[in-house]
Chain A
Amino acid sequence: MERRIGMEASIAMAEAVGLCDADVVSAYPITPQTHIVEHLSELVANGELDANFVPVESEHSAMSVCCGSSAAGARTYTATSSQGLALMHEILFIAPALRLPIVMAVANRSLSGPISIWNDHSDIMAERDIGWIQVFVENAQEAIDLTIWSFRIAEDKRVSLPTIVNFDGFILSHMIEPVLMPDREQVQDFLPPFEPLQRLDIDNPVSMGPVGIPDVYTEAKYVQHKLLTDAYGPIVETFGELEKHFGRKYRPVETYRADDADVLLLTMGALGETAMTAVDERRKRGQKVGLIKLRLFRPFPYKDLLNAIGDKPVLGVMDRAVSFGGPVGPVASEVKAALFSARKHPLVPEFIVGLGGRDTSIADFHSIFDDLFEAAERDTTPDPRFVGLRE
């Protein structure tokens, strides 16, 4: 039976990892991820979770430990943020190349400099192409559900790839929210025991991570691309399983009041909730605005996105990181790439929102919707706008 309780999102996420019976947790504390690993170390110390908690001296070591323990056949979890994720960088590529189904939470935070411990998506946008499955969550319930789901999809034998749950630092990680916490039995029904595709085993020796000479490397990278792209099917299937077991529905691309909308805005992560409130206010005024929420970031759900956009004339894209001197908004650039193949495509105004912990209010979303209506009226795309920039 699930319990209805009030709980901080980070603690809820750690509880979910406990319910999944992780065998190894290796992490280095970094704001705003800290509460997750603190709570996991408590669970292990109190004997509530039978796992090896491996404290390390850096995130580089944390991810290295995770690769080793996953290769040995242990269900492996870690969490990080910002500079910590950046410090993991070179090892992040190893996990998918070796088909290691590690699950990691990234409590999204800006990157220095200037030094900033606050929330945006700079950290994960810099790790776009590491080859992991990546989802974004909006609230504590989604953090619980998709953490449990992540072990299932990562360990699915057709997939066997590491998976990241992105959840916004502070504005979600430190929020206390009502959640439905499943019990161990429910989770065990949904999540079968981990059976690795192959493991380090002295009785059946294998060498993992050998040199890939030029005659092999291209094929190896193609396999990785194909595996991650083909993971789409199992992802949708296991979202369905999740719904059957827990009653909550997840899709690679979700929408809010989008069907009859005149203008659309695409969001990713916790700010989607503020955006929904702004949409409701507009709807009360009789203005048809709608949201597209990108749940699955990798593999990128091209078809679902095009279906969700349909023939709407304007699609604003919210970005929470900057691709300097390039396309400005990294998500917008992917959305535009997805639209390029469509016969008809909307105007795509870009909005850089909530960098480095800048509060994003309902009024900010109204200013974005104003821009979207104006773009529709003039039939031109405005320049990318840094929302709330003092000029």
Chain B
Amino acid sequence: MKYQNPKPKWSELETGTAILTPGSARATHTGEWRSSRPVWNDEHCVQCGVCVIFCPEGCIAFQADGYPKADLDYCKGCGICVQECPTTSIAMQDEEE
């Protein structure tokens, strides 16, 4: 688990900087560097799942209400979901707004 400390001391690194815990990528919140986020408008969404499949981070999932949303801890703001949605139900919004 030492490696999962995001700022380890040199003496805390694992041998050869190996990762000993499976699934450790979860601890790295790649969403930190996002400058804009996808926002859904469910009105026209046909729940086709295209955005879910195309998201390169695999961070879009159908929610309890049947509509997809992104997990913003991992969404890097690439906008591919916006590009691929056949009903233009997703739009990018500046993080500063």
Contact = CB atoms under 8 A, between A and B. Distances in A.
Label chain A's interface by main secondary structure.
loop
Interface string A98-112: 111000000000000
A207 interface: yes
A323 interface: no
Interface residues of B, number: 15
B18 A207 contact: yes
A210 B9 contact: no
Interface residues of A, number: 22
A198 B10 contact: no
Contacts, number: 45
A215 B15 CA distance: 17
B10 A222 contact: yes
Interface in B10-32: 10, 13, 15-20, 22, 24, 28
Contacts of A220: 10, 13, 17
A223 B10 contact: yes
Nearest to A215: B7
B20 to A, nearest CB: 5
B10 A206 contact: no
B6 to A, nearest CB: 6
What is the predominant secondary structure among interface residues of chain B facing chain A? loop
B8 interface: yes
B63 to A, nearest CB: 31
A208 interface: yes
Contacts of A311: none
A39 B24 CA distance: 45
Q: Which of B9, B13, B24, B28: most chain A CB closer than 10 A?
A: B13
A114 interface: no
Contacts of A197: 15-16
B49 to A, nearest CB: 30
A198 B18 contact: yes
Contact of A219 (B10, B18, B22): B10
Given A215-B6, A219-B8, A206 B13 contact: no
A122 B81 CA distance: 52
A67 B81 CA distance: 39
Contacts of A219: 8-10, 13
